[in-house]
Structure 1
Amino acid sequence: MRDTPLTAWQGMDLLVLRGDEELDRVPSTDIDRVILAYHRGGETPGDLAYAVLLTAGEALLFAPATGIAGRVHFERQSFWSDRPCVYWVPAARAPLPRPMRGGWSLFPRRLPAYLRVPRSEVESDIARWPIEGPQSWEQRKWERIVRSRLLPPAEPAGKR
């Protein structure tokens, strides 16, 4: 059996699974905000450091190995586009709140693959993160393309 939990969609619920066992279920209507912490430029799902999903009462931490990047980036794109709740933050500027780091140790521990904690325990830490968005991955990609263009934006036809 695989130790790392995986995410999957079932209907409009996001499931957290370990093998065939359902560990958790999050109705999509309960998701207030998705915060994607990224390394490098955040241009690919491989740049994901971790994701935090906020519901009304809880914060859920997902490591990249759970497949959450694909669930947010590529699956249900119209859902994420219709609900402007995906935000971005550079991982270097978004240290995980103490309750989300898992276990006590003098040495850095591995990121927990999946963790659910009360939102009230992490809200003040998350409020200090320099969050960008809301912006879906697709919107973010197109903004990057526009910024990288060599030519200045074209003037509207009536302004010539």
Structure 2
Amino acid sequence: MSEGLCSLCLKGADKYTDAINIARLALMYMPHSPRAYLLLGSVLSLRPESRDKARKAFEKALSMRPKLLRAHFGLVDLLIAETKYLDAIARLSLTQYVGRDVVFAKLGDVHTLNQSFGLALPQYHHALALNPNCVTALRGVDRVEKLLRGDGDASQYDDLMDDRRQSSGSA
């Protein structure tokens, strides 16, 4: 549900207003639902000026349901946007118990952004061990290997950020 609204937000300011209104309505009708707070945080996180409010919404969702992976990922995406990679790694380390490929692939991505390539590769390989078809991990391994060979450049990081934006809703 939140992915569809977030993609609408990216299409224009009017759509953003619609999405924020829908998220607030969801919160009004379901004030005890962590998914309503997740939706609100997802919409708010699309605007840099609303990141603090988004963080509070994700944290509220986690206070209600501590294992809500999408809320953890929302906080991680905010930390990545603020280039707080070590904090993002620490947050993701809390979710490793889930044992899903997306967690390890995202952890590999953050290590790559932090230029910790030696730590990124094992995370990608762990994701691929869980799901050999994990596209994010396959791209991550390829990206890191190119960077280690010296074939990559700054655009590799731009590609990584583009991949993160596209897949953040699918976690």
What range describes the TM-score normalised by the shorter chain of this pair?
under 0.3
Q: Looking at secondary structure, tell me which structure has more helix per residue.
A: 2
- TM-score, with structure 1 as normaliser: 0.27
- TM-score, with structure 2 as normaliser: 0.26
Between the two structures, name the one with larger relative contact order (CA 8 Å, sep ≥ 6). Answer: 1
